[in-house]
Amino acid sequence: MIRIPKWLADFGLRVNRLYYKQLLRSVYGGPKQSPSWFDHRIDLHYHWPHNLFWLERGVLPRKHMFEGCGVLDLFCGDGYYSRYFYSTIAGHIDAIDKDPNAIAHAKRWHSHPKIDYGVADAAERDFPRSRYDVIVWFEGLEHLNEAEHAAVVDRVRSAIGDEGVLVGSTPILAPEELGMGNWEHQYEFTHVAQLREFFSRDFSDIEIDVTVYPLLGGGARRSAYFTVRGPK
C-alpha cells in the first residue's frame, strides 16, 4: 500500500477547490447568462464548510420518506439531491427538469439505477407517474408565473392524493432584492404569509419553517421550507 504524504493530500485538496472556484466564476459569474440551475459539486468542493444551507434540501425531505417510497423530484436541476440523498431510501425516483442541459449533466454525473432523469416541463406535461408518496419541489416555485403555478399545483394535488406529501422551499427576499437574483425568477416572495396564502387555496395542511444563513459576500439567505398535505 502506497502511503500518501499529508502535504500531497493537502495540495490535492487545494487544487480541487481551485478547480471548482474557477468553475463557479466561469459558469455563474461571467457576463453571459448563467444556467438557472446550479452545479452542487461547487457547494461540496468549494463552498464547504462556509456555506451549508444547500444541505437542507437533501436532509429535510428524508424525514417524510420511507424505505421503498416513490419520489418525484420536480425541477431537479443537476440531480445532486436525488442521487446522494433520496436514492438511499426511495424505491424509485422520477427526476424532471425542462432544461436539457441540466438533465444531461445529471445523467453524466449523478446517475443511479433508482433514478429516471427526464426532460419535461411540469407546467405543460403530465408527471411520469400518476401517484407519488413524496414530491420534492425545491427552489422551483419562484421560476413560474401564475398560470404555470396553477398547472403544476393541480398535478401535484392529484399525484400526492390524501396520503402523500409535497416538500419544498423558496427564498424569502427583502423588497429591495426582488428581481435582483436568478434571471428566470417570475414569482418571488417577501413574507411567509404570502407563501402560506399561495398554498392555502389548494391544500388544507401547510407547515412552513424559515432558516437564515449568512452569505460569504455579505447579507443573509432566508429560505422558507414548506410541507404541504391534504389537497382540497
State pTM to two decimals: 0.93
Strand partners, 167: 136, 227
Mean pLDDT of the chain: 93
More confident call, 19 vs 32: 19
- Decide if 3 is inside a domain: no
Q: Residue 217's pLDDT is what?
A: 74
Domain that holds residue 99: 52-231
- Label each residue of 60-115 as H, E or C: HHHHHCCCCCEEEEECCCCCHHHHHHHCCCCCEEEEEECCHHHHHHHHHHCCCCCE
- Decide if 35 is inside a domain: no
Q: Residue 120's pLDDT is what?
A: 97
- Decide if 38 is inside a domain: no
pLDDT one-digit tens code per residue, 40-88: 999 999 998 888 899 999 999 999 999 999 999 999 999 999 999 999 9
- Decide if 153 is inside a domain: yes
Which burial class, exposed, middle or buried, applies to 19 when counting CB atoms under 10 A from its CB (0-12, 13-18, 19+)? middle
Please provide the DSSP assignment of 125-141 as one string: S--SSS--SEEEEES-G
- Decide if 36 is inside a domain: no
- Decide if 28 is inside a domain: no
Q: What is the CATH number of the domain that holds 61?
A: 3.40.50.150
pLDDT one-digit tens code per residue, 102-143: 999 999 999 999 999 999 999 999 999 999 999 999 998 998
Q: Which residue has the cell 421550507?
A: 225
Give the chain's domain count.
Answer: 1
pLDDT one-digit tens code per residue, 135-174: 999 998 998 989 999 999 999 999 999 999 999 999 998 8
Dist CA 134 CA 73 (whole Å):
9
Using alpha carbons, list the distances in angstroms from residue 209 to 31, 37, 205.
35, 23, 14
- Decide if 33 is inside a domain: no
* Per-residue pLDDT at 182 exceeds 70: no
Q: Residue 75's pLDDT is what?
A: 95
Q: What are phi and psi of 189, to 5 degrees?
A: -115, 145
Supply 59's cell numbers.
436532509
- Decide if 75 is inside a domain: yes
Using alpha carbons, list the distances in angstroms from residue 10 to 5, 21, 44, 48.
9, 16, 16, 15
* Per-residue pLDDT at 200 exceeds 90: yes
Q: Residue 46's pLDDT is what?
A: 95
Which of helix, strand or coil describes residue 228?
Answer: strand
Q: Of 32, 78, 33, 35, give the one whose Cα is nearest residue 57.
A: 78
Percent of the chain beyond pLDDT 70? 97
Which of helix, strand or coil describes residue 118?
Answer: strand
